Amino acid sequence: MTQTMHILLNSTNAALIIFTAAAGLAAAFTKSPFVRFGAGLAVIAATLCIFAGPRSLFMWTVSAVERPSFPGFVLLCVLSISTTTGRRVATSAEYRFATLAFALAGLALYPSATGFINADPYVLGYSGYVLPAALAVVIAYALWRGYFISAFALNVGIAAFLLGAGPSRNLWDYIMDPVASIIGCGTWIVLAIGFLTGLTKRAKILSPTQPSAGIGETPISH
């Protein structure tokens, strides 16, 4: 039973990623949530049936992304639902808050893991009060702003760490994961591009345009 549960938990990231990607692709051709939902399930089934070597494409994806943190799982669920229904999730203040938190945490954590930074924030997840204190501040801010889903997801991740619900003994692995960090960074890159594009359009609209006289033409005087 425990082994089956671990297999299911390890597969959730892969299943949600494949489903969301397929539903997003279907969204380019249809506005029907039912068709998008069916497309997501169909692609998951296809990856289970198509093999590359000894494993299916689905299992290759599982090995690449591994188990999500609970907050990362909630983020992927929200993204998959929004992709299926066509709702612009970036309009939600809580979604922007959550993705910004994942993006900043990922930028602080993963460059050091790959050797780009000498400091290693990952060790803070084993012991000490720095990471728990930072989480307390984030949760308090989320509750103050009314971001109850974010606060709930972080609290569940912390509880899972305290109960030893996963194989890792590092708190970081229960509150964030690389997929969530990529989604966070990608979301804010898109938001930044949209903001800059909007500024450029407004600047063009507000800038005065003076018609100039052509070569050999005399400006009309009144």
Whether residue 156 is contained in a domain is answered as yes
Whether residue 207 is contained in a domain is answered as no
**Tokens, residue 93:** 């203040």
Q: Smallest Cα–Cα separation from 135: which of 108, 155, 113, 162? A: 155
Helix/strand/coil for 85: helix
Instruction: Specify the pLDDT at position 177.
Output: 92
- Indicate the residue among 17, 51, 67 that finishes a domain: 67
Q: Are 78 and 138 contained in the same domain?
A: yes
Q: Are 81 and 175 contained in the same domain?
A: yes
Structure confidence by residue, pLDDT tens digits, 22-64: 999 999 999 999 999 999 999 999 999 999 888 999 999 988 8
Q: What is the mean pLDDT of the chain?
A: 87
Number of H helices, E strands in the chain: 9, 2
Structure confidence by residue, pLDDT tens digits, 126-151: 988 999 999 999 999 999 999 999 99
Q: Are 111 and 19 contained in the same domain?
A: no
Q: Are 16 and 75 contained in the same domain?
A: no
> Is 96's pLDDT higher than 60?
yes
Least-confidence region, from 52-61, 87-96, 107-116, 186-195: 107-116
Residue 72 CA to residue 42 CA, distance in Å, equals 24
The band of 157, judged by pLDDT with boundaries at 50, 70 and 90, is very high
Whether residue 214 is contained in a domain is answered as no
> Is 119's pLDDT higher than 80?
no
Residue 136 CA to residue 148 CA, distance in Å, equals 14
The band of 204, judged by pLDDT with boundaries at 50, 70 and 90, is confident
> Is 217's pLDDT higher than 60?
no
- Indicate the residue among 35, 67, 99 that finishes a domain: 67
Q: pTM of the full predicted structure?
A: 0.84
Average pLDDT over residues 203-218: 60
Q: Are 82 and 171 contained in the same domain?
A: yes
**Tokens, residue 215:** 């070569």
Q: Are 111 and 176 contained in the same domain?
A: yes
Q: Which residues contact 166 (CB under 8 A, 6 or more apart)?
A: 9, 67, 160, 173, 174
Q: Could you list the residue range(s) of the whole structural domain that residue 134 is in?
A: 69-198
Q: How many domains does the chain have?
A: 2
Instruction: Specify the pLDDT at position 85.
Output: 93
First CA to last CA distance, the chain: 91
> Is 215's pLDDT higher than 80?
no
Q: Are 174 and 150 contained in the same domain?
A: yes
Q: Are 191 and 167 contained in the same domain?
A: yes
Instruction: Specify the pLDDT at position 23.
Output: 95
Q: Which residues contact 170 (CB under 8 A, 6 or more apart)?
A: 122, 125, 126
